[in-house]
Structure 1
Amino acid sequence: MKLYHTQTREDYNALMDELESKGVKWADGKKPHELDGFEAYGSGTIFQVSNKEMVYFSMDFYKEIYNELEVIEYKAEKSEKDTKISNESVLEIIENLVHATSLKSFYSLQKAKYNLDKLIEKLEVEDDTKI
């Protein structure tokens, strides 16, 4: 049995990627990304993995029941390329917004929203804070 803790949503997503690649599933049989285990307790969530099956519980529950067991602090690997914000990405968002409004293009608006969401995620990672 292994216990994992993730501090951020990015760390959680990376852990779910790794566990899914190893064939681990939630206790109800769902794949890791088919259930949001981070939502309930956020950074206070502990993930227990045993025999390719996982469950989650609160940090308080961990302290009551499993306090002597080691918890693995799982961190997403970050490359400089992933966390650097380029002027080109900001310009692309602006261009998509201009295109969306001038041509009433729903696709351009969706693309601008997607790129803006990615930009916000990168800022959160760099600042290690939530907006």
Structure 2
Amino acid sequence: MFTHIRKFISKWNSNQDIYIEQMSREETIPFNKEETMTLYHVETEEDYDALMLELEEEGCVWGYTGNKPTKDGHWYIFKGDTVIDKYDIYLGVASKGYCEKVYLNIPIQKYKTRKDKIKEDVEYFSKCNEQIMESVYEFIHQDNNDIVNNPSHYTSGGIETLDYIKAKVKDYPSYAAGNILKYVSRYEYKNGIEDLKKAQFYLNDLIEWMESD
């Protein structure tokens, strides 16, 4: 008998799902592997390629060949339904439908490239900023006795708007980071150096905030 298993491929024909089981050439996988398995869903080839580079940097290999993640291309098999399963340093590939049926207790993480994540963060923080400023506006106009008419920088009860935001917002670093991302991402097509200066202002203020803690 062979002392080491070199390759193990199992196929699931139900719903045309094909699953390539991960297996080390030097050891078998424990029965309770679900406890430490991670599942990544990649919707685009760009996401797939980015994940392969990241996993390769972590020292991962394909469990059934021992090759580096970027050497074996599996995107074409399931395309937008591709799920990469990671156990220790060993990788396998399956369809999203298969994983949803088999790994009921493991959440499937949607993997996005860094570029996509930054875009999502900018959109998220921009929405947060709008909600925050609406709250500030409502607060300022609640009581005319608290208003100091200063168009250049609104104040209320002697407290500048940014200081009020810091006092009321639970996660000011996220608010500041959102502004930094927003102004840096748009400066080329909107307000140029003015946006960069705004980003610099929030960056300096964020540094000062964190150093004061």
The normalised TM-score by structure 1 is: 0.58
Given candidates 59, 79, 82, the residue that maps to 1:23 is 59
Correspondent of 1:44 among 81, 85, 101: 81
Report the equivalent of 2:112: 75
Q: Distance in 1 between matches of 2:74 and 2:39?
A: 14
For 2:78, give the aligned amino acid.
Y
Secondary structure of 2:70's aligned partner: helix
Name the counterpart of 1:57: 94
Unaligned runs of 5+ in 1: 81-131
Equivalent residue for 1:84? none
2:105 match: secondary structure = coil
In structure 2, runs of 5+ residues without a counterpart are 1-36, 120-213
Please, which of 41, 50, 55 is the counterpart of residue 5 of structure 1? 41
Q: Which letter does structure 2 place at the counterpart of 1:65?
A: V
Measured after TM superposition, the shift of residue 67 of structure 1 is 2.9
In 2: Cα distance, 1:20 partner to 1:55 partner: 13
Question: What is the identity, as a one-letter code, of the residue corresponding to 1:33?
Answer: T
Write the distance in 2 (CA, Å) between the matches of 1:11 and 1:52: 19
Shift of 1:33: 0.8
How high is the TM-score relative to the length of structure 2? Answer: 0.36
Count of paired positions:
80
Structure 1 runs of 4+ off > 2 angstroms?
A: none
Structure with higher Rg: it is 2
1:41 partner amino acid: F
1:68 deviation in Å?
2.9
Q: Offset at 1:72? A: 1.2
1:30-81 CA-to-partner distances (Å, cap 9, x unmatched) read: 100111121100010111001100000111211210133111111001178x
Matches within 5 A, 1:50-129: 50-78=87-115
2-structure distance, mates of 1:62, 1:35: 21
